[in-house]
Every structure is written in C-alpha cells, then in structure tokens.
C-alpha cells in the first residue's frame, strides 16, 4: 500500500480562459523574428516584407520551398514548391491554409477503475479520482445513449457506468480554430526549422500554431500546441490543408481497406461537409498534376485505446468550390461496431498540459502513387520490419481462440485474426483467453490445440491466459508448454492431480499455489494494463508481496492509448514508462532480476484490413528461429532474460551493450529510424532516484541509422536501460539490466 500513489502526477496550474478574440493582428503585417534560427547549407530562411521563406533539401535530390505569410491574423501558405536537382520549381500549393476543428467532452473516471481502489480500501477523494480519471479506458464522452448513460455495462465485460452520469448534450462543445497571430518566431533545432505563430484558440484550448520542416526530408509537420484551463476535458481533433488548386488533373486518391486504389476527380457538386474516407494506412493524397501532396496523422499518438482495430475513417476530403479543395485527417464520433460503443474515450487534457495536435504533409514530385509510397515508408508500409536474429512478438490479443474454436465445432477452423497479425509482420502472436469457469479445462484444451494448428515454421501462436484473482489486479500467464489448471483448491485437494481427460492438473487456490505452478512449469507472469482498468492501484499495492518479489513475475504490459495525452513525449509517458523505472527501484538491493515491459495490444477480433500497426506495439525477441510444436520455452527464456526490446515499429535498436564500469560506464547502441529522430536516452536508478542522460538527435536526418556512445556515471547505480524516440512520438526501449556494484 505504501507505493499505491507513487505514480507520476500530472499536476499543472490552471490557466484562466479569456474571451475569444481576433483583432490584435487584423490588418497588421507580422514579420518573423529569426534571431533563434541558425541556417545551414541544407536549411535556409529569409524574410521579404511580412513573408517568411524556408528553403531546404528534401529526400534524395528534392529541394523544397515554403513561403508563409500572415493575412488578417491567419497563416497563409503563399507558395509550397518542389524541385529536383536538375529541374525548376513546381508549385504544389498556392494560397493554402491549415484548418483545425476540436470536439470536447467531459472526462469521467470509470467504475472499472473505482472497483479495485475500493477493494484496496482507498478513500475516493477528489484528488484520487482526479489522479486516475486521466487513464480511463471505459469512457465515451460523446455518447449520449440512454442505455450507456443509465450505467449498463457493455457486452464485452467492461463497466461504463461512471459516476456523474447520465451525460448531457451541453457537455459537448464543437469549435473551429480561431487564428489571431500577432507574433512569429523561427528557431532552428539541429537539421529542422520550427515556426511558432502566436496566438490561436481552439475551443477551450489556447496556444500557438507550429510549423516544422526537416532537412533531408520532404516532411512538414503542422500542429496546434495549446492548453486548456478547464478541469475535465476529453477531446478529439480534425485537421487539414485547405485551398488546394483544382484543375483538370487534380484528384483525391486513397487505398480502401482491401488495398485497392480509389480516386475521386472532384467533378461532383461542392461539398457542404468533410467527406470521411475509410482509407488504408491513415493516408490520403491530393494528385496535383506534376506534383502530389499526402496528408496523414502521427502513426500511434493519434490513437486512444480501443478494443478493436477496425478502421474508423481517419481521412477526409472536401470540394470547397469549383477551383479549390481540401484534404486532411479526422477522428470519428463513435466506435464503428455497436458492441464496443461504450469505449470511445478520446484524448485526455489535464489542465495546463500542452497538447500537440499534429498533421503531417508530404509533398512529392510525380503522381499520387509516388507520394503514397513515400508516406508509407515512414511506417515501413505498416509492417514491422524483420531484423536478422530477432522474432517479432505481439501479445495480449483477446481473440478468445479456445472459445471461438469450440463455438465453430472444429479444431481446424482457421481464424482470420492471425492472418491480419501475420500480414503486419508479427511472427509470434499471443492470444489471451479468459475462459468461462464451467468450461475452463475444455477451453484451455481448444486454446492449446488451436495454437498448434495456427502455427508453422514462420509464425507461432503462443497461448496466454488472463486472470483476475489472487495476485492483485489482472495478470497474464505465458506458457512454455500446455498446462491445465483450475481456479480453485478445495480443502484436502492436492496442488496437482491427474485428470482422466487432460492429464496433469493444477488446483490454484492461493498465491503460493500460483507461484508453485509457474516455477514448476516454466511460466511467466505479466500485468497487462497496470494502473488502469481492473488493475488501477496495481502493481503498487502488491510491490512487497510474495508474487511480485518473484522472478517469474516479469513486469507489466506496455501499450499507449489508456490515458492518451498528447502532451506526452513518449508513448505511455505518464503511466507505464515511469512505472518501469519505479519497479526496478522498488526491488533494488533484493537480488531479484530486473522487471520488464512486454508490448501488448488489448484488442479483440481482427481481420485483414484492420489497422493493426497503428494500434499495437511489439517486442523484438532475440531468437534466431521459432521453436517447433508446443515447446515455447525458447520464447519464455528470451522474455525471462530480457533479451528483447519493445518498439512502436518506426525505431529499432538491433544492438546495444554497456561497457566500462563506475564513472567510466558508457552505452553503445545501434539505432535505426524512419521519422526524423528526436532524442536518445540512458535511464538508470539507484533504488531511490531515477536519472536520465538525454542526447539530442535532431541533427540527424530521417531514414537513418547511427551508432551511439553515451557515457554515464554508474557509481552507486542498480540498473540501467536505453531508449530512442523520434519526432512523431514513436520509439523503442531496451529492457533494464543490473549494474555490477
């Protein structure tokens, strides 16, 4: 209990919201301050009157030029042009704008979070509720249905009856961005230039509009960076580029979820609203004759936690007039499958936190397919890259493998879930079942046998089981081989008996029983969603327990989205990553192995065309090849020894090591990435404090690889880990290792 509230607290001062205003910059020219900008041969800036001109080298032999001006208080892209090494400038956009919309609702804590806190005897004060509500999973602030507002739990088993319901329509606010730019500042940061334009207002959010370009890449990032002063804001945003020229060659292009090319040449009537596109890869492209322009969101931070990966339509276009059109990114109003409507949680915006609402634009020379291919490269085509000597593992997929096969009537039924995972580059898939008590043994049998039938030499299904008894919160069992157990042990029943149908059978009625089973059968335990959902308050509450202080309790799950907060620099920066470091400080001096993260997803059914890549991280296990049959022990061994790193997919750490000792310790690591890298860090702790050596990587271009050597003082330190993060919030982390005294 003593560590129950040791989590990182996002405490920020309230910001007073003033009246909406536009006027300070109206009719006035705004010149840009270049004092903080230092140009290079690859990145140059100049001002002509009130216009700012940026010129930079792009991908391959491309050159780009952007002219930005403030007109009646709003930023206008007077010209965006592109050229190759031996060609003249070709205009991509002229007199274009950037638009944002926001929809805000009211953030509530869920009963699913409150239940474990009540069981722990925690007094549910306003402070406690405010601390945990930002990590809510079962919330749908835009859903006003009576059955949800009345508190009925959704069929999936979550609990959506939050305190303070029913919701009301006046909680929902819809707003367009209001630009009132009165100041422009350009700064350089390594090989990137960042334009800051103040001030903007977007609903209750007030802040700045920021435009970033990256030398060595055609990539442009446009974002609102703003904070709200309201106490319980949950929100979503849409964004896009407007004013694209429509001539006889202009068209909107995308791929549907079957991967087929689709296009619209804008010959129809002017649109009154945005036209939502259920586009593959979260990507829409404007074909503009000799040039093209792709629009897409950050691949992972754009998403809050859901229970399915069904594409909810993340792009849009709009024909604004006979001569102009727009494209962009969007989030829907609700889940697309009725079964899951109660979970559409939106982003969390704690008061005063700087939320980064970003849109990426990628201009290209050539056709829409050229732009699409270039944009897809940033997410490796939405496929996790194969690394020599590694296997790519995804975990905690609620496919209900055993139950689905039982319902089908055949062990040989092939589930499409694994086709979708395999197509994403995952070759170890961990389906986690939660069998019904009355059929637990039968479902375990179908789980184990079904896993074997879905596995081959290039793809393995690793059975997992999620439990919610005995150990505190929820916990996953990872099997090294099939093991049968039941969740009870009546008086006089031995721990192990012989079952006539399933052979060796464990009877689990206590913590000691669980530990005895996992040690005897070479199993591992991970808590899948710490500090949220049914594990709210955990593992903090069991930090001194028999189970946590056992090397078979390997750690916790890493997934973003359960408390999506766009002020985070790292994925799950406030909930999971600090916990990783805290756990290793808790056990410092105990002689235990370090605690780790396991990349998890927490989603249910999936099929080809679902957005698998955006919604789940993976673990890269150091294994030369997959094991054979139902012997999963090599996987368990790699996980137990920490021979892996976790990744969102864009950043990879194929090699790392720590050399030297004491004050002369240093990290050596090979890192590769797609989006321009932001920083790398060595994180270490001594049992009390956590320290970080952070090294900027903004001088490195996108699509790079680099060998890092970072010195740090290891004297008195207990453990150390390494991580690398890119400019879109994507990243990779190695597992902690013990440091020699």
322-326 average pLDDT score: 97
pLDDT tens-digit readout, 50-77: 899 999 999 999 999 999 999 999 999 9
Q: Which two structure tokens, joined as six digits, stand for 245?
A: 């020229």
Q: 677 has which bridge partners?
A: 726
pLDDT at 472: 96
Are 545 and 586 in contact by the 8 Å Cβ rule? The answer is no
pLDDT at 483: 98
Q: Which two structure tokens, joined as six digits, stand for 507?
A: 């009877």
Q: 236 has which bridge partners?
A: 103
pLDDT tier at 148, thresholds 50, 70, 90: low
Torsion (CA) 566, 569, 574, 578 in degrees, nearest 10: 170
Percent pLDDT > 90 in the chain is 90
Query: How far lies 38's CA from each of 42, 64, 139, 185, 715, in Å?
Result: 11, 18, 46, 13, 38
375-379 average pLDDT score: 98
pLDDT tier at 512, thresholds 50, 70, 90: very high
Are 297 and 359 in contact by the 8 Å Cβ rule? The answer is yes
Query: How far lies 386's CA from each of 383, 422, 431, 619, 627, in Å?
Result: 9, 12, 21, 12, 17
**Helix H or strand E encompassing 486:** strand 484-486
Are 15 and 355 in contact by the 8 Å Cβ rule? The answer is no
Are 487 and 508 in contact by the 8 Å Cβ rule? The answer is yes
Q: 695 has which bridge partners?
A: 680
Cβ contacts of 238 within 8 Å, gap of 6 or more? 100, 101, 102, 274, 316, 328, 329, 330, 331
Cβ contacts of 125 within 8 Å, gap of 6 or more? none
156: pLDDT strictly greater than 50: no
Are 317 and 330 in contact by the 8 Å Cβ rule? The answer is no
pLDDT tier at 435, thresholds 50, 70, 90: confident
CA angle, 162 as apex, 158 and 163 as ends, to 5°?
Answer: 155
What letter does residue 702 receive in the DSSP assignment? S
> What is the rounded distance in angstroms from the CA atom of residue 496 to the CA atom of residue 478?
19
Query: How far lies 369's CA from each of 65, 293, 294, 330, in Å?
Result: 22, 10, 10, 22
> What is the rounded distance in angstroms from the CA atom of residue 483 to the CA atom of residue 519?
12
Residue for token digits 């290792």?
737
pLDDT tens-digit readout, 177-211: 999 999 999 999 999 999 999 999 999 999 999 99
494: pLDDT strictly greater than 80: yes
Q: Which two structure tokens, joined as six digits, stand for 491?
A: 């008086």
Q: Which two structure tokens, joined as six digits, stand for 707?
A: 């060998």
152: pLDDT strictly greater than 90: no
> What is the rounded distance in angstroms from the CA atom of residue 607 to the CA atom of residue 614?
14
597-613 average pLDDT score: 95
Q: What is the C-alpha end-to-end distance of the chain, expressed in Å?
A: 29
Q: Which two structure tokens, joined as six digits, stand for 118?
A: 């009540």
What is the residue-wise DSSP string for 305-324? --S-------EEEEE-SSSE
pLDDT tens-digit readout, 517-555: 999 999 999 999 999 999 999 999 999 999 999 999 999
**Helix H or strand E encompassing 581:** helix 577-586
**Mean pLDDT taken over the chain:** 93
26: pLDDT strictly greater than 50: no
pLDDT at 147: 54
Are 530 and 473 in contact by the 8 Å Cβ rule? The answer is yes
> What is the rounded distance in angstroms from the CA atom of residue 550 to the CA atom of residue 465?
19
> What is the rounded distance in angstroms from the CA atom of residue 65 to the CA atom of residue 505?
69
Are 261 and 253 in contact by the 8 Å Cβ rule? The answer is yes
pLDDT at 4: 47
Query: How far lies 724's CA from each of 505, 681, 729, in Å?
Result: 44, 6, 10
158: pLDDT strictly greater than 60: no
pLDDT at 563: 83
Q: Which domains does the chain have, with CATH numbers?
A: 32-103+173-378 (2.70.98.90), 391-480+517-645 (3.20.20), 650-741 (2.60.40.1930)
Percent pLDDT > 70 in the chain is 94
Are 204 and 233 in contact by the 8 Å Cβ rule? The answer is yes
- Is the link from the previous residue into 628 a cis peptide, with omega within 30 of 0? no
Are 579 and 722 in contact by the 8 Å Cβ rule? The answer is no
pLDDT tens-digit readout, 201-239: 999 999 999 999 999 999 999 999 999 999 999 999 999
Q: 106 has which bridge partners?
A: 233
pLDDT at 17: 33
């Amino acid at each position: 209990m003593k560590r129950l509230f040791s989590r990182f607290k996002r405490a920020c001062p309230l910001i007073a919201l003033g009246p909406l205003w536009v006027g300070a910059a109206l009719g006035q020219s705004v010149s840009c301050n270049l004092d903080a900008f230092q140009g290079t041969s690859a990145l140059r800036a100049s001002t002509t009157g009130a216009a700012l001109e940026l010129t930079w080298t792009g991908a391959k032999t491309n050159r780009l030029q952007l002219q930005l001006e403030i007109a009646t208080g709003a930023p206008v892209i007077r010209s965006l042009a592109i050229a190759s090494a031996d060609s003249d400038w070709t205009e991509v956009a002229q007199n274009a704008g950037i638009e944002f919309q926001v929809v805000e609702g009211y953030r509530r804590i869920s009963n699913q979070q409150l239940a474990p806190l009540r069981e722990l005897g925690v007094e549910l004060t306003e402070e406690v509720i405010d601390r945990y509500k930002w990590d809510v999973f079962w919330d749908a602030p835009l859903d006003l249905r009576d059955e949800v507002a009345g508190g009925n739990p959704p069929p999936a088993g979550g609990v959506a009856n939050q305190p303070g319901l029913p919701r009301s329509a006046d909680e929902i606010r819809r707003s367009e961005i209001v630009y009132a730019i009165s100041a422009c500042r350009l700064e350089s940061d390594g090989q990137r230039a960042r334009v800051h334009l103040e001030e903007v207002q977007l609903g209750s959010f007030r802040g700045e509009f920021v435009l970033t370009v990256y030398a060595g890449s055609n990539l442009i990032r446009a974002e609102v960076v703003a904070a709200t002063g309201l106490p319980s804001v949950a929100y979503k945003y849409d964004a896009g580029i407007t004013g694209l020229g429509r001539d006889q060659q202009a068209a909107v292009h995308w791929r549907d979820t079957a991967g087929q090319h689709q296009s619209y040449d804008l010959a129809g009537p002017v649109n009154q609203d945005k036209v939502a596109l259920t586009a593959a890869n979260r990507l829409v492209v404007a074909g503009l004759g000799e040039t093209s322009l792709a629009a897409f969101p950050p691949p992972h931070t754009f998403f809050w936690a859901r229970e399915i990966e069904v594409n909810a339509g993340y792009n849009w276009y709009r024909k604004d007039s006979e001569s102009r059109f727009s494209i962009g990114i969007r989030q829907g109003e609700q889940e697309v499958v009725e079964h899951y409507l109660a979970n559409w949680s939106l982003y969390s915006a704690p008061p005063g936190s700087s939320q980064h609402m970003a849109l990426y634009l990628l201009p290209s020379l050539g056709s829409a397919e050229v732009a699409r291919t270039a944009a897809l490269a940033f997410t490796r085509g939405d496929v996790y890259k194969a690394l020599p000597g590694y296997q790519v593992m995804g975990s905690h997929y609620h496919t209900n493998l055993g139950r689905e096969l039982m319902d089908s009537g055949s062990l040989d039924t092939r589930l499409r879930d694994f086709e979708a995972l395999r197509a994403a580059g995952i070759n170890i898939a961990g389906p986690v079942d939660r069998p019904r008590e009355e059929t637990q043994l039968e479902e375990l049998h179908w789980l184990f046998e079904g896993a074997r039938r879905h596995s081959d030499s290039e793809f393995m299904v690793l059975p997992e089981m999620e439990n919610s008894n005995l150990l505190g919160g929820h916990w996953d069992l990872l099997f090294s081989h099939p093991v049968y157990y039941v969740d009870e042990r009546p008086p006089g029943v031995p721990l192990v008996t012989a079952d006539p149908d399933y052979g060796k059978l464990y009877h689990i009625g206590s913590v000691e029983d669980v530990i005895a089973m996992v040690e005897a059968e070479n199993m591992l335990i991970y808590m899948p969603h710490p500090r949220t959902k049914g594990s709210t308050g955990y593992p903090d509450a069991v930090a001194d327990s028999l189970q946590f202080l056992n090397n078979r309790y390997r750690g916790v799950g890493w997934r973003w989205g359960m408390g999506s907060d766009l002020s985070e620099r790292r994925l799950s920066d406030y909930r999971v990553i600090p916990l990783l470091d805290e756990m290793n400080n808790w056990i410092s001096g105990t002689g235990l192995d370090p605690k780790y993260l396991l990349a998890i997803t927490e989603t249910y059914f999936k099929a080809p065309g679902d957005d698998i890549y955006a919604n789940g991280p993976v673990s890269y296990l150091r294994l030369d090849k997959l094991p054979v049959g139902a012997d999963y022990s090599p996987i368990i061994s790699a996980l137990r020894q920490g021979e892996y790193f976790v990744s969102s997919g864009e950043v990879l750490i194929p090699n790392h090591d720590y050399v030297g000792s004491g004050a002369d310790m240093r990290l050596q690591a090979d890192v590769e990435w797609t989006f321009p890298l932001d920083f790398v860090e060595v994180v270490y702790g001594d049992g009390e404090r956590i320290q970080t050596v952070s090294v900027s990587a903004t001088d490195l271009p996108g699509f790079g690889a680099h060998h890092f050597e970072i010195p740090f003082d290891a004297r008195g330190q207990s453990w150390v880990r390494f991580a690398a993060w890119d400019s879109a919030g994507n990243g990779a982390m190695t597992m902690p290792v013990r440091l020699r005294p």
